[in-house]
A and B are shown apart, each in its own frame.
Chain A
Amino acid sequence: MNYTDVRIISAKSDEIEINRRELALRLKTDMDFADKALSECSQKLMDVITYRCAYIRTDISINENNICDLGFAKIKSVNLAKNLNGCSEAFIIAATAGIGVDRLLSKLKIISQAQYYMTDAIASAAIESFMDHASDKLSVGLNCAPRFSPGYGDLPLSLQTPLLERLNAQSLLGITLDSSLLMTPMKSITAIMGIKK
C-alpha cells in the first residue's frame, strides 16, 4: 500500500484478439485447427475472463558484473543484462486474466479433460495476447526491448516476490504467490520490458 505510482491497464474480453499462432502452439495443433467444442470452450472462458495489468516505469542500470538494478531489486542475471543492454529505463509489468479463470478450470477438470485442456490453452494464449496488447500500448513512441520474465534463462523465479510487491499486485490485481513462487490466478504473467535510450 506504500506505492502510489502504479498504473493500471484493463481490457474487456472482446477487446483482445487471441493470437492464433500462440493458441495453436499451446493446443499442439495447426493454426487452422477449428472445432465446435473449441469455440464453446472459448465462449465460456470469455464470460469469466477479466484482463488487468499493473505497471510502473522506472530507472534501471546494469553493471559490468551483470548485476541489474531494477530500483526495487538488484539481481545478477546474464540473460536479463543482455536483454536490457542499452536501456536506462524499463517497464515492470504484471498482468492477470483473473481468478474466474481458475474457477472455471477447476470445474472443467472435474467434468471434461478435453474441455479443460482446450480452455487452459486458450486462457494461456489469451493472457499472452493481453500482455502483447498492454506492451504495445506502453511502447508507443518508444524503442523497447522484448519482454523478459522471471524464470526465463538465468533470471530466478525468486524475483517474483519483490516484483509483485512493488506493483501492489496483491491488492491491485489479486495476484498472490504460493510457496513454490507460482502465481494465483494461474493465468498471470510478470515481465520486465526495457526502454532503449
Chain B
Amino acid sequence: MKKITELIKEKRIYFDGGTGTVLQSMGLPAGQSPELWNITSPEKIISLHNMYFDAGANIVKTNTFGINRVKFENYRELIGAGIKCAKKAAEGREDAYVAFDMGPTGQLLEPLGQLKFEEAVSIFADNVKAAVSVGVDLILIETMNDSYETKAAVLAAKENSDLPVFVTNVYDAAGKLMTGADPEAMITMLEGLRVDALGINCSLGPDVMLPIVKRLKDYSSIPIIVNPNAGLPEVKDGKTIYNVGKEEFSDYMVKIAEGGGTILGGCCGTTPEYIKMTVEKTKSLPYSLPEKKNYTCVSSYTHAVFIDKQPILIGERINPTGKSKLKAALRNDDLNYILNEGIKQTDAGVHILDVNVGLPEIDEAAMLVKCVSALQGVTDLPLQLDSTNFDAMEKAMRIYNGKPLVNSVNGTEESMGKVFPLVQKYGGGIIALTIDESGIPDTAQGRVAVAEKIIERAAKYGIDKKEIIVDPLALTVSSNPESAMITIESVKKIRELGVKTSLGISNISFGLPQREIITSTFYANALQSGLNCAIMNPFSQAMMQVYYAFRALYMLDSGCADYITFASAESTAVTNNAVVQEQTLHSSIVKGLKESAVTLTAELLKTTAPLDIINGHIIPALNEIGTAFEQKKAYLPQLLMSADAASAAFEEVKKQIPTEQSDSSKAIVLATVKGDIHDIGKNIVKVLMESYGFTVYDLGRDVAPETIVNCAVEHSCKLVGLSALMTTTVPSMAETIKLLNKTDPSVKVMVGGAVLNQEYADMIGADFYGADAMDSVRYAEKFYKG
C-alpha cells in the first residue's frame, strides 16, 4: 500500500466521521468513556470502523482520543486494543489507513496553566510509543484548542516515530483557538514543525467553517483537513440532534472542497451516512494540492507576523550589551525587569522582540528558557531568539510557543552546521549574518556571496530561502567611513536574490554624539533601499518618526491613519508635560500620578540630594496617603496608585544613589505560603514596602517553608512576611513559622491575609498580625528603627 502522503498527491481522500454519536446508538451510555470499549466490546469498535470504510472513508481514527497516562493507568493496553480494532477493519481493503488519534490532555500548559511543556511532550510521547509498538499508518493530533499543547504533541510524534503527522485544531466562529491563535499562526508554526497536513475539526458546522477554510487555503502550503461537526446540537423531544443534516452537510462539503479543503471528513454528530454522501458529491470534483506559498513569517501563540512590504520593527532592548541595569537584573534573576522591558516595547509598537540574555557569569540556556517562557506570558509578540550559544538556542526554540525568529546563523561551517538542524526540527525564520571564516567582506559583492552560500547550504537541510532574512551588517561609521554605503548597497543587492533583509540599525552611530540623528537618517535610507526588518530601539522618538513617516510616504499606511495617531500622541505628551508642571512630587504621589512623579523626581534630582528626596518628599507623601487610608478617607486603589507612583519615583532616585549608600539594611522576605496561590495581598504589601524603600525578597506564591528559611538565611534578613488566603493553608503558615524559629530565633515573622486575625496569628506563633498593608509597613518601619 502507498504511503498516505503519496496517495494525497493523487486524489482526494476522506476521514471518517463522529465516534460518540455512532457508539451511543450502539448503547454506549452518555458520560462513559468510549475508549473502554476497545477492550470490553472490540466487535462494536470494529463495526464502527467498518461502517466508515464502507461509506468511502480512507482513514479511520482509532478510538483513542481521550487516552493518556494521566487519565488511564492501562493506557498502553487501551491504545493497543483500539489500534487492533481499526487494523482489523482495514484488513484486505484498498486505500484504507489507520490514524492513531491523540486528543488534548485536558490540562493547560504553563505559563497560564500548571502543566509543564516537557511533561506534556512526555505524556504524548508515551502514547506515540504505545501506538508505534502496535503499528499505524499515521498520527492524527486533533481537537487541539491550544497552540502550545499542539506543539508538544507534534514534537512527541516526530521524536518517537517516522510516521506522517496530521494536525487539526478547534477554531471558534471568529477563527481563533481557545487560547488565541488564528489560522495563520497555526499554519506558520505547524509548517515550521514540518507536519504533513493541517486543518480544522469539531466545534463548528461546515457552514461556519468556510471562511476559516479560505484562510487555510490562502496561507497553507500543505494539504488541508476539514472535519466539521454536523452543526450545533439541539434538543428536540428530549433527544439531542445536530442541526445540519447529511444532505445539507454534504452540500457544504462541496463548497469546502471547492474552497480549498483537501482531505474531508466529519466530527461530532456526523455518521457514516454523512461521509458517504460527502464522498459521493465531492469525489469527482477537480482536485489539487494547495499551492506552495512564498511568505516569510514568524509567529507567536496568537498571530503570525509577515515580513513583506511593511517595515518590521524588532525591539532591541532585551540585550545586556551596554545596559548595566539589565546586566544586574540578569545576575539577580530579576525577571520582572526583563518582562517590563518586553511590555514597554510591545506598547511602543514593535512587531517582534529580540531576546538576548547572554552574560558570561550566568547559565545562558536556563535564563533564555526562563525569559522566553515568562515573556510569552505577558506579550503576544513573536520573539527573536538571540544567542551564540547553540545549547541555549535549541532549548529556547524547543519551548517557544510558535515559530521564532532565530538570531542568528552566519556563513561559517560551525554556525550553519549547528543552526540549520535546529531550524529543520523546530521551524524558524533565520537572521543570516554576512560573515564567515574570513570575516566580514568589505564590499557589497563579498557580502552577497556569503548570503548566497548560506542560502545554498540551508537548501540542503530542506530550508527554503523564504526563511532566510539576510543581515548584511551595519558597522559603525565613525571607524569605517564607507560602512553605511556598503551596507545600503548590500541591502539592495541581497533583495535581488529574492530574500528579505534585516539590520541592527543602532550600531551605525556608535561612538558619535547625538547618535539618534545618524541612526534615524541611516534607517530612513535603508528603508528606502528596501530594508525589511530593523533591530532598533522603539523608545527612540527619532526612529519611530522615521518609521511612521516612511509608511505614510510609501503608501504603506492607508489614509496616513497610523501616522496621524502617532503624531497626535506626540502632541498630547507635550500637553501632559504642561499638566505635570502644575503638580509637585508630593501631590503627584498623593494623587497616584506615576508619569508626573517620575518627571518631577528627575527634575528635583538636579537640585536636591537623592536621600533628601526620599525623606523629604516621597516618604511624607506616602505617609499622608497612608494616614488617609487608615482614617478611611482614601481607598485601597488610591493607596496602590500612590505606591506605584512612589515606587517609580524611588527607582528614579535610586539611579543616582551609589550602591554602597543605598539602605539595604531595610529588607524583608515576602511569600505566600505553600499550597496557596492567592498572592494579591502579598503583592500589595510588596509594592508598599518597596515604595517605602525596603529591599523586598519576593518568593512568590505556593512557597515551601524551606525556601523561605533559606532565603532569610542567605540574605541575613531578620524580617519575614507571610500571607495566606485560604483556611486550608494556615497550617502551612504555622509550619513555616516553626521552621523559621528553629533556624534563627531572632527572625520576626509578620502574617496577614483574608483568613487571619490576631487570635489565629497568636495561635500559630506569629510576631505580628497586619490587618492591612499599611499596618504591615508601620510594623516593618518600627522593626528597623528599633
Q: 4 shortest A-B CB distances, which residue pairs?
A: A114-B640, A174-B178, A113-B687, A4-B240
Residue in B66, B112, B686 whose CB lies within 8 Å of A1: B66
A33 close to B (CB within 8 Å): yes
> B637: nearest residue on chain A (CB-CB)?
A118
* In contact, B340 and A111 (Cβ under 8 angstroms): yes
Contact A103 B112 (CB under 8 A): yes
A100–B143 Cα gap in the complex (Å)? 20
Q: Which of A109, A113, A115, A170 has the most CB of B within 10 A?
A: A113
Given contacts A99-B179, A180-B675, contact A29 B636 (CB under 8 A): yes
Report yes or no: B592 in contact with A174, Cβ–Cβ below 8 A: no
Instruction: Decide if A35 touches B677 in the complex (CB within 8 Å).
Output: no
A27 sits at the interface (CB 8 A): yes
Bound-state Cα–Cα, A166 to B32, Å: 11
B684 and A107 contact, CB distance less than 8 A: no
A147 CA to B340 CA, complexed, in Å: 41
> How far is the CB of B229 from the nearest CB of chain A, in Å?
10
Q: A106-B378, A112-B644, A113-B683 are in contact. Are A184 and B268 (CB under 8 A)?
A: no
* Cα separation A3 to B235 with both chains bound (whole Å): 12
A residues within 8 A CB of B636?
27-29, 117
Q: Mark A107-146, 1 if CB is under 8 A from B, else 0.
A: 1011111111110100000000000000000000000000
Choose one: B103, B380, B643; the contact of A113 (CB below 8 Å): B643
- Interface centre among B66, B178, B379, B644, by most A CB within 10 Å? B178
Q: Are A170 and B106 in contact (CB under 8 A)?
A: yes
Q: For residue A35, which residues in chain B have a CB less than 8 angstroms away from its CB?
A: 637-638, 641
Interface size on B, residues (CB 8 A): 59
Closest to B114 in A: A178
* Cross-interface CB contact of B112 among A30, A102, A120, cutoff 8 Å: A102
Q: Which A residues lie at the B interface, using CB under 8 A?
A: 1-6, 27-30, 33, 35, 37-38, 72, 99-100, 102-103, 106-107, 109-118, 120, 166, 170-171, 174, 176, 178-180, 182, 184-185
Q: Are B380 and A103 in contact (CB under 8 A)?
A: yes
CB distance from B637 to the nearest CB of A (A): 5
Contact, CB under 8 Å: A110 / B340: yes
Is the beta-carbon distance between A28 and B635 smaller than 8 angstroms? yes
Question: Would you call A99 and B683 a contact (CB within 8 A)?
Answer: no
- Cβ of A179: which chain B residues have Cβ within 8 Å of it? 114
B694 CB, min distance to chain A CBs, angstroms: 14
B497 to chain A, nearest CB (A): 39
Q: Is B439 part of the contact surface with A, judged by Cβ < 8 Å?
A: no
Other than the given A4-B242, A117-B640, A117-B680, 10 more pairs (CB < 8 A) read: A1-B143, A4-B233, A99-B112, A111-B343, A112-B644, A113-B640, A118-B640, A170-B104, A174-B178, A182-B677
Across the interface, name the chain B residue whose C-beta is closest to A30: B635
Judge whether A176 and B684 touch: CB under 8 Å.
Answer: no
Nearest CB in chain B: distance from A99 CB, A: 6
Check: B107 CB closer than 8 A to any chain A CB: yes
Check B379 against A5 for contact (C-beta < 8 Å): no
The CA-CA distance from A174 to B686 in the complex, in Å, is 32
Complex CA gap A38/B636 in Å reads: 12
Q: Could you tell me the distance between the alpha carbons of A3 and B356 in the complex, rounded to whole angstroms?
A: 48
Q: How far is the CA of A99 from the CA of B637 in the complex (A)?
A: 24
B378 / chain A contacts, CB cutoff of 8 Å: 103, 106-107, 110
Asked if B553 lies at the interface with its beta carbon under 8 angstroms from chain A, I say no
Given contacts A33-B635, A166-B31, contact A4 B20 (CB under 8 A): yes
11 contacts between A and B (CB under 8 A): A37-B637, A102-B112, A103-B180, A110-B336, A111-B343, A115-B644, A120-B680, A170-B106, A176-B106, A176-B108, A176-B113
A179–B684 alpha-carbon span in the complex (Å)? 26
**B264 at the A interface (CB under 8 A):** no
CA distance A180 to B725 in the complex (A): 14
Contact check: which of A5, A72, A102, A115 meets B235 at CB < 8 Å?
A: A5
In the complex the two chains form, what is the Cα distance from A184 to B453 in whole Å?
Answer: 49
Is the pair A180, B677 in contact by a Cβ cutoff of 8 Å? yes
Whole-angstrom distance between the alpha carbons of A110 and B686 in the complex?
A: 12
Cβ B112 vs Cβ A184 within 8 A: yes
A178 to B678, CA, bound (A): 14
Residues A110 and B66 in contact, CB atoms below 8 Å apart: no
B202 interface contact, C-beta 8 A: yes
The interface residues of chain A lying within 8 Å CB-to-CB of B684 are 113, 117
> Is there a chain A Cβ closer than 8 Å to B269's Cβ?
yes
B145 at the interface (CB under 8 A from A): yes
* Chain B residues near A33 (CB-CB < 8 A): 635, 637
Residue of A nearest to B241 (CB): A4
Cβ-closest chain A residue relative to B302: A103
- CB nearest to B240 among chain A residues: A4
Tell me the smallest distance from the CB of B714 to a CB of chain A, in Å: 24
> Which residues of chain B have C-beta atoms less than 8 A from A180's C-beta?
675, 677
